[in-house]
């Protein structure tokens, strides 16, 4: 993207019908560290990649608790995400104080989308440069929403945002049909596997990823690093055990092929003119 005469403020339309500053905000989401979410009938799992600006600094928090039944994962400008999560927390508190019941997830998502849309229609404002994956559980079941800087929102079975999120989307698209009936532990494993896809060869460790869960009878909480590392070690050990098991099979196949080739050579010398075998 290059600077042009139609991106000086967010209310200026280009001749092609585009709002460039909104597109720039959506590009900021793509540049942020990856965040993923997936849900079953009873649980929702959020995950994100922790990236520090330097080896001397700690990573910034990417997953926030909004209420006991709602949490968000962000990609993009962390400061914007922190402000929006605080707004969501206030809305939950006000609703709970007024109606003495938890705020439905869908209603909160609509309020958040309306707040983001206002910033696309005021020349003295700028769009929020952050995308949010909103996970929650209410009377209608488990929900996973994506809120876009443009003010749009979508509900997903599984989704990924941020840099190199396409690899995670590919993994989720292959597996999403099984998510509806998946257990909590299976969802967590799939979330970790999807995060690993975004690392592109980098070693997956609990220190560079964060996993959070909300579900039936389980308030929103972030899993501790020890638990995440145990899960990572479990499926890495299983993968190592599968690799040696395939090697003897390959060796046996090669020996069988060699024996067949030898037999064919001998057969060719004795049965000249015979019809070849059908394969």
Q: What is the pLDDT of residue 235?
A: 80
Mean pLDDT computed over every residue of the chain: 87
**Which segments within the chain are labelled E, that is strand?**
35-39, 43-49, 63-67, 70-76, 130-138, 141-147, 153-155, 158-161, 209-215, 218-222
Whether the predicted pLDDT of 53 surpasses 90: no
Q: What is the pLDDT of residue 55?
A: 80
Share of the chain above pLDDT 90, in %: 73
Question: What's the predicted TM-score (pTM) here?
Answer: 0.84
pLDDT tens figures, 62-103: 999 999 999 999 999 999 999 999 999 999 999 999 999 999
Q: What's the topology of domain 18-231?
A: 3.60.20
Whether the predicted pLDDT of 274 surpasses 50: no
* Residues whose CB falls within 8 Å of the CB of residue 242, separated by 6 or more in sequence, listed in order: none
Alpha-carbon distance 209 to 152, whole Å? 27
Which sequence spans correspond to the domains of the chain? 18-231
Confidence class for position 253, pLDDT limits 50, 70, 90: low
Strands of the 70-76 sheet, one edge to the other: 63-67, 70-76, 130-138, 141-147, 153-155
pLDDT tens figures, 22-47: 999 999 999 999 999 999 999 999 99
């Amino acid at each position: 993207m290059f600077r042009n005469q139609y991106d000086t403020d967010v209310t200026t339309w280009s001749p092609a019908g585009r709002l460039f500053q909104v597109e720039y905000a959506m590009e900021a989401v793509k540049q942020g560290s990856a965040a993923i979410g997936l849900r079953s009938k009873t649980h929702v799992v959020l995950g994100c990649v922790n990236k520090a600006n330097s080896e001397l600094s700690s990573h910034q928090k990417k997953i926030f608790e909004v209420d006991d039944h709602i949490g968000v994962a962000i990609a993009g400008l962390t400061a914007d995400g922190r402000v929006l999560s605080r707004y969501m927390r206030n809305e939950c508190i006000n609703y709970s104080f007024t109606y003495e019941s938890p705020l439905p997830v869908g209603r909160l998502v609509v309020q958040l989308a309306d707040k983001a849309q206002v910033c696309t229609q005021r020349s003295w404002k700028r769009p929020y440069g952050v995308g949010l994956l909103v996970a929650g559980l209410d009377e209608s079941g488990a929900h996973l929403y994506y809120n876009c800087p443009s003010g749009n929102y979508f509900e997903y079975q599984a989704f990924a945002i941020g840099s190199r999120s396409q690899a995670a989307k590919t993994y989720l698209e292959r597996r999403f049909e099984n998510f509806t009936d998946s257990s909590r532990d299976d969802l967590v494993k799939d979330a970790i596997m999807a995060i690993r896809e975004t690392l592109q060869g980098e070693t997956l460790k609990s220190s560079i990823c964060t996993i959070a869960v909300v579900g039936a009878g389980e308030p929103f909480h972030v899993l501790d690093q020890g638990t995440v590392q145990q899960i990572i070690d479990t499926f890495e050990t299983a993968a190592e055990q599968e690799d040696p098991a395939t090697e003897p099979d390959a060796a046996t196949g090669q020996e069988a092929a060699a024996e067949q080739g030898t037999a064919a050579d001998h057969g060719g010398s004795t049965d000249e003119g015979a019809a070849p075998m059908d394969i």
